[in-house]
Structure 1
């Protein structure tokens, strides 16, 4: 199977059979809550970013108060995250920029925009990159058609040869989303992200991937090379380490 898009869709088919698509959405936050949650989640384990988010909700009555609070108080609340000293001022900058543009902390206007326009608008905010924008559209109650790519998802795509070994996570969002069938709706795109991410977490590990039990082994160039040559790992690209 030489066509990268065909390989990606075959991987989707097999992994959906393994994980049981369609998959339930893992939470139902409104777009603004999802924006904050996604900003906290960068390079942070899900349980830790969820704890930091809960801390903010419990300590401050609303996001306006988070925006205007002393930065040290926000940093203390989000201490479970990685780099809270950087994330606290960055979160406040994003909230201030949103207020300046919208006159309030409100993302309801995104619902009237198509996915590309909404993603571009979100990415114009300081601190918001492709993954955060896609997460807001896909994971929030908007349930939009957008493909987030995390480090696990990205690593699986690289090893499958779907994207080049040196392609960064940011540019990979548009490249991989363009490979998905136009008729897919938000649920199918969400499932696609989820199954590739879960495969990266459970089988296609950052170190020592479990190729022997991988359902994608016969279509995975990296897995085939590993099976043929036990020293392949030493020559593999430096895939981003998972959070």
Structure 2
């Protein structure tokens, strides 16, 4: 593994190489308020984007507001989110989280997070059941808050591990802040979002879970995993 200063330089090199392929100033894919983004994140756990998106739309079409979701019969919420995995677990969890937000803040909104320092806002979110570093970063970055936070999904994580930036045993949860801290401190929220997007897209388009396309990888000369696979007898 590289030393921290070498890792920082390497991470920036990776960022620039992938940005040359996948672009910069990447458009945000959501314009959801932070509470809606949190609900979307809770639905997305171990679920394909298409299915969690359908579940989210069903909730809005069926109930119309998060307060209506909160007080609805749990069975009705479960039925609405049936497209996602484990709806029997996610329905009561969503209602529990909505109730806790109402109790802790006094109203059913997360817009107040805009007035908090990002680290403090993420800590507040992570006190909620089922909300870890990935979800808190997603709320801060993807929502209309557009804050400086680095979500790390499975694709992003896989690319970072194969490049030797982090060890697989660290897990996606802890990797979130480790990878964020390796980015330049003067990175803007947009640049941090771009980093997540280019790492994720590279994992989706080249660095596949099975049979990665190493020969066409722009990072092959710097990737120990790719070098090993390409030179494998």
On whether the aligned pair clears a TM of 0.5, the verdict is yes
The answer on whether the counterparts of 2:33 and 2:111 sit within 8 Å (CA) in structure 1 is no
Of 180, 203, 209, the match for 1:206: 209
The 1-side partners of 2:157 and 2:86 are apart by 22
The 1-side partners of 2:46 and 2:88 are apart by 14
* Gaps in structure 2 of 5+ consecutive residues: none
- The offset of 1:148, in angstroms, is 0.3
CA deviations over 1:124-155 (Å, ceiling 9, x no partner): 11111111100000000000000000000001
The 1-side partners of 2:214 and 2:90 are apart by 36
- The offset of 1:61, in angstroms, is 2.1
Which residue number in structure 1 is paired with residue 86 of structure 2? Answer: 83
Secondary structure at the residue paired with 1:97? helix
Which residue number in structure 2 is paired with residue 169 of structure 1? Answer: 172
Which residue number in structure 1 is paired with residue 187 of structure 2? Answer: 184
Of 63, 66, 70, the match for 1:63: 66
The 1-side partners of 2:144 and 2:84 are apart by 24
The answer on whether the counterparts of 1:4 and 1:161 sit within 8 Å (CA) in structure 2 is no
CA deviations over 1:143-182 (Å, ceiling 9, x no partner): 0000000000001000010001211000001101100101
The 2-side partners of 1:222 and 1:5 are apart by 19
The 1-side partners of 2:201 and 2:112 are apart by 32
Residue 16 of structure 1 pairs with residue 19 of structure 2: yes
- Please give the residue correspondences for 1:9-48 in structure 2 after superposition, counting only pairs within 5 Å: 9-48=12-51
Which residue number in structure 1 is paired with residue 140 of structure 2? Answer: 137
Secondary structure at the residue paired with 1:168? helix
- The offset of 1:75, in angstroms, is 0.8
Could you list the structure 1 runs, at least 4 aligned residues long, displaced by more than 3 angstroms after superposition. Answer: none
User: TM-score when scaled to structure 1?
Assistant: 0.92
CA deviations over 1:27-47 (Å, ceiling 9, x no partner): 200111101111111111111
Secondary structure at the residue paired with 2:208? coil
Which residue number in structure 2 is paired with residue 54 of structure 1? Answer: 57
Of 98, 122, 128, the match for 2:131: 128
* Gaps in structure 1 of 5+ consecutive residues: 231-243
Of 96, 100, 114, the match for 2:99: 96
Residue 228 of structure 1 pairs with residue 227 of structure 2: no
The 1-side partners of 2:126 and 2:30 are apart by 22
The answer on whether the counterparts of 1:97 and 1:125 sit within 8 Å (CA) in structure 2 is yes
- The offset of 1:103, in angstroms, is 1.4
Secondary structure at the residue paired with 2:169? coil
CA deviations over 1:83-112 (Å, ceiling 9, x no partner): 111111111111111111011211121111
How many equivalent pairs are there?
230
- The offset of 1:4, in angstroms, is 2.3
The answer on whether the counterparts of 1:156 and 1:204 sit within 8 Å (CA) in structure 2 is yes
- The offset of 1:21, in angstroms, is 0.7
